[in-house]
Amino acid sequence: MDERVTFSAVTQAAGLLRGVAHVTPVLTSRQLDGLIRGQVFLKCENFQRTGAFKFRGAYYAVSRLTPPGTSGTVATISSGNHGQALALAASLLGVLAEVVMPRPFSRSKYQAVLAYGGRVIETANRQTAEEALQELLERERATHVHAFNDSRVIAGQGTVMLELQGQVADLDVLLAPVGGGGLLSGLCVVGHQVLPTLKIFACEPNGASDAEESIRLNQIVQVPAPDTLADGLRTSLGSRTLPILRAHLEGVLTVAEEEILAAMRFAYERLKIVIEPSGAVALAPVLRKEPVLFGKRVGIVLTGGNVDSDVFVKALEPGC
Amino acid sequence: MDERVTFSAVTQAAGLLRGVAHVTPVLTSRQLDGLIRGQVFLKCENFQRTGAFKFRGAYYAVSRLTPPGTSGTVATISSGNHGQALALAASLLGVLAEVVMPRPFSRSKYQAVLAYGGRVIETANRQTAEEALQELLERERATHVHAFNDSRVIAGQGTVMLELQGQVADLDVLLAPVGGGGLLSGLCVVGHQVLPTLKIFACEPNGASDAEESIRLNQIVQVPAPDTLADGLRTSLGSRTLPILRAHLEGVLTVAEEEILAAMRFAYERLKIVIEPSGAVALAPVLRKEPVLFGKRVGIVLTGGNVDSDVFVKALEPGC
User: Side-chain half-sphere of A180: how many Cα atoms within 13 Å?
Assistant: 21
Distance CA B252, CA B202 (A): 5
Dump pLDDT digits (tens) for B48-65.
999 999 999 999 999 998
Greater pLDDT, A78 or A108: A78
Mean pLDDT of A247-260: 97
Dump pLDDT digits (tens) for B92-114.
999 999 999 999 888 888 999 99
User: Does B289 participate in catalysis according to the annotation?
Assistant: no
Residue A216 has pLDDT above 60, yes or no: yes
Residue A313 has its nearest CB partner, among B49, B270, B313, at: B313
User: Is there a contact between B47 and A271 if contact means CB atoms under 8 Å apart?
Assistant: yes
Distance CA B231, CA B234 (A): 6
Note the ipTM here: 0.92
The catalytically annotated residue of B63, B79, B151, B236 is B79
**Which pLDDT does position A225 carry in this prediction?**
85
Residue A271 has pLDDT above 90, yes or no: yes
Name the pLDDT band for A319 (thresholds 50, 70, 90): low
Query: Among A138, A6, A153, which Cα is nearest to A65's?
Result: A153
Dump pLDDT digits (tens) for A80-121.
899 999 999 999 999 999 999 999 888 888 999 999 999 999
Closest chain A CA to residue B116: A31
**Which pLDDT does position A1 carry in this prediction?**
45
Closest chain A CA to residue B313: A313
User: Is there a contact between A274 and B272 if contact means CB atoms under 8 Å apart?
Assistant: yes
Residue B69 has pLDDT above 80, yes or no: no
Residues in chain A: 320
**Which pLDDT does position A26 carry in this prediction?**
95
User: Is there a contact between B271 and A312 if contact means CB atoms under 8 Å apart?
Assistant: no
Q: What percent of chain A has pLDDT over 90?
A: 88
Distance CA A110, CA A122 (A): 9
Partners of A313 on chain B (C-beta within 8 Å) are 313, 316
User: Is there a contact between A47 and B272 if contact means CB atoms under 8 Å apart?
Assistant: yes
Q: Are B208 and B233 in contact (CB under 8 A)?
A: yes
Catalytic residues of A: 54, 79
**Phi-psi label, residue A141: left if phi above 0, alpha if psi -120 to 50, beta otherwise:** left
**Which pLDDT does position B1 carry in this prediction?**
46
Closest chain B CA to residue A308: B269
Range with lowest mean pLDDT among A57-71, A306-320, B55-69: A57-71
Q: CB contacts < 8 Å between A and B, how many? A: 49
Q: Nearest-CA distance from A141 to chain B in Å?
A: 32
User: Does B185 participate in catalysis according to the annotation?
Assistant: no
Distance CA B26, CA B14 (A): 18
Residue A320 has pLDDT above 50, yes or no: no
Q: Nearest-CA distance from A209 to chain B in Å?
A: 27
Contact partners, residue B181, CB within 8 Å, separation at least 6:
B148, B202, B211, B237, B238, B241, B242, B244, B245
**Which pLDDT does position A79 carry in this prediction?**
87
**A316 CB within 8 Å of a chain B CB:** yes
Q: Nearest-CA distance from B173 to chain A in Å?
A: 24
> Cα dihedral angle (B219, B220, B223, B229), rounded to 10 degrees?
130
Mean pLDDT of B220-229: 90
Beta-ladder partners of B122: B101
**A27 CB within 8 Å of a chain B CB:** yes
Range with lowest mean pLDDT among A53-57, B225-229, B258-262, B291-295: B225-229
Distance CA B315, CA B219 (A): 34
Mutate to test the interface with A, among B48, B271, B272, B276 (most CBs of A within 10 A): B272
The chain-wide mean pLDDT, for chain B, equals 94
Beta-ladder partners of B43: B26, B301
Residue B17 has pLDDT above 80, yes or no: yes
Range with lowest mean pLDDT among A238-247, A286-295, B128-137, B226-235: B226-235
**Which pLDDT does position B319 carry in this prediction?**
60
CB atoms within 10 A of CB B163: 21
Mean pLDDT of B188-207: 96
Dump pLDDT digits (tens) for A150-169.
999 999 999 999 999 999 99
Dump pLDDT digits (tens) for B74-85.
999 998 899 999
Residue B47 has its nearest CB partner, among A27, A305, A317, at: A27
Catalogue all structural domains in chain A, each as residue range(s) with its CATH number: 7-52+151-316 (3.40.50.1100), 54-144 (3.40.50.1100)
Partners of B49 on chain A (C-beta within 8 Å) are 30
- pTM score over 0.90: yes
How distant, in Å, are the alpha carbons of A75, A316, B206, B224 from that of B209? 52, 31, 5, 11
**Which pLDDT does position B71 carry in this prediction?**
59
Name the pLDDT band for B320 (thresholds 50, 70, 90): very low
CB atoms within 10 A of CB B151: 21
**A25 CB within 8 Å of a chain B CB:** yes
Q: Nearest-CA distance from A131 to chain B in Å?
A: 33
Distance CA B256, CA B162 (A): 30
Greater pLDDT, A53 or A231: A53
Helix axes A241-248, A182-194, angle to 10 degrees: 40
Dump pLDDT digits (tens) for B292-319.
999 999 999 999 999 999 999 999 986 6
Name the pLDDT band for A71 (thresholds 50, 70, 90): low
Query: Among A159, A4, A157, which Cα is nearest to A81's?
Result: A157
The chain-wide mean pLDDT, for chain A, equals 94
Closest chain A CA to residue B316: A309
